A and B are shown apart, each in its own frame.
Chain A
């Protein structure tokens, strides 16, 4: 009922707002925020120091591979080799650590025949440096070994799970440690296609849920079959991209406006992404239709310690979250300056650096950490590795660099909690608006205080009780005396 009163209150507030503001509403937007910002607990865009800064721009020409034409995907290996899928030129280019071209592959041998790519859209490089290319134009997945000889080719699969008119158009591909191949195929709404190491189609995994509009549902329920056939079909949202982490979990982005645009799928296809942050990980919270509307997440990149970054194509921003779903930092944008993009399509990390591929300009922007970003990353990493002491120190540094980083206060609070400094811990949790942990710390603190002052409290209580009883007896005696006198 309190909630209902709250609702009534918001209603009244809305009434007052409508009355006082009328048509010209004030819009608090992230667009007007500082170039680097973060979302506070209250959902405001708050200025923050930049965690990453663009340092370099790599073009096809600067790498020595010839200009890129409409590149679609990049992949970075553990030894920092960069595989750029140059779709327009039907090839992929390998750059070394210094961003110089090492090799360009545009043809391969398969069963004694020279084959070529046709408008490939996705690339994945395994730890053994085997390359998987989603050769979209040829409707197949090409599996090359580390010397770029074709090992296998996956053509359109045949299965009873697939419809008769199914068309295999692989656009993104990822491979886990057991060589299971996950393929995102255009026009497939049932999730990712999972292939075994031998290239045999197994099943679909992790379909998005259908969002049914109540009004649409009503109209559909009262219409005839003929009418229904004319209507739009409900289909789950398609995924837009995927990545795989060291443990074999799939991280995926989709264009879902209602549900969760970011997902972490386990082997069963269940979403196990942690969403403990102030808001669900989903890119920008505040946006206007003028600047492209809701975020359109087109790529996701998982690095170590469960830190992941997503790329929003509508505003060209990169959002980085930690494993618990707290937003760490935001950078990038649409524009003409270094560090801004035209049509970003892919994001990858290379060590601590982040690379963003721009499709239209055929460029890769290299972002490197600032001191703030380094400290924050290292704090999150040490916390993830269980070193709360070090994490607390790093979080203190983060707070010194950015007092608005609410999440960092929780990190300090946790260290205090571990040390038994409950009061300080509760204070820090309050600053980070972490109510669950605050409650934990506060309970311990309360217990400590009550224990410490138990004798005083009990003495005071008993004294008060005695005083009250004495007063009552005294009054009664007085009343009795009065009665006796009369």
Chain B
């Protein structure tokens, strides 16, 4: 992996149209995939570090309930849901993107959050309550930036028109909600089944 490949995410951040075009048509998919996983990992890492080491004034987490594995789930599950939902939808809506491309696009779009997270974990230890509004401003700014990148990325990867992209994104969110509902339903049913079987087992064992 050369230096240029590592710098490409930063290029995408400031030149999303060109960047994502290059990502789709010019860059090696394998390298991009590795970088994508790297970004996801960094996001998980900065989230974990942020919850643990952010300054007292902005850190509202109960340290007793911090769970690094759950932090990873909070990042991975939404990204995975997003990619699956988007891919399922766009195959029906004449999108040109493959699943891998959607995944890479999504991960690259998350970079601003990682980049803002990291310095602010450190700086938030030296700010006062009044200055904490800067903290929240930059956090929100990063999220907005990521959203914009995601929008441009989806538009490029599927070769959609701007309005169609907005529609797709809204539908994707709907599909994500639907998936969450189905997952819940599935787990709930499995649980009921397990409970049923275990109850019968108990009845048999106790009435022998």
A residues with a Cβ closer than 8 A to B are 1-2, 5, 8-9, 12-13, 15-16, 18-19, 22-23, 42, 430, 435-436, 438-439, 442-443, 446
Whether B188 sits at the interface, judged by CB under 8 Å, is: yes
Q: How many contacts A-B (CB < 8 Å)? A: 54
- Please measure, in the bound complex, the distance between the C-alpha atom of A265 and the C-alpha atom of B203, giving whole angstroms: 61
- Please measure, in the bound complex, the distance between the C-alpha atom of A12 and the C-alpha atom of B177, giving whole angstroms: 11
Give the interface segment out of B12-20, B31-39, B124-132, B149-157: B124-132
Contact B56 A438 (CB under 8 A): yes
- Could you say which residues of chain B place their CB within 8 Å of the CB of A15? 180, 183-184
Size band of the interface chain B makes with A: 20 to 34
Tell me how far the C-beta of B146 lies from the nearest C-beta in chain A, rounded to whole angstroms: 10
Return the chain B residue nearest A436 by Cβ. B129
B contact patch SS: helix
Contact B73 A16 (CB under 8 A): yes
Selected contact of A435 from candidates B56, B77, B78, B195, CB within 8 Å: B56
- Could you say which residues of chain A place their CB within 8 Å of the CB of B191? 19, 22-23
Contact B187 A12 (CB under 8 A): no
- Could you say which residues of chain A place their CB within 8 Å of the CB of B139? 1-2
Contact A12 B128 (CB under 8 A): no
B residues with a Cβ closer than 8 A to A are 56-57, 62, 64, 70, 73-74, 77-78, 126, 128-130, 136, 139-140, 143-144, 180, 183-184, 187-188, 191, 195
- Could you say which residues of chain A place their CB within 8 Å of the CB of B180? 15
Contact B77 A439 (CB under 8 A): no
Contact A2 B136 (CB under 8 A): yes
A-B contact pairs, 6 of them (CB 8 A): A12-B78, A19-B183, A439-B128, A442-B57, A442-B128, A443-B128
Selected contact of B143 from candidates A2, A435, A436, CB within 8 Å: A2
- Could you say which residues of chain A place their CB within 8 Å of the CB of B77? 12
Contact B126 A22 (CB under 8 A): no
Contact A439 B57 (CB under 8 A): yes
Contact A1 B144 (CB under 8 A): yes
Contact A18 B184 (CB under 8 A): yes
Contact A2 B74 (CB under 8 A): no
Extra inter-chain contacts (10) besides given A18-B187, A19-B191, CB under 8 Å: A2-B139, A12-B78, A16-B73, A19-B184, A19-B187, A435-B129, A436-B129, A438-B56, A438-B129, A442-B128
Contact B143 A1 (CB under 8 A): yes
Contact A1 B140 (CB under 8 A): yes
- Could you say which residues of chain A place their CB within 8 Å of the CB of B130? 439
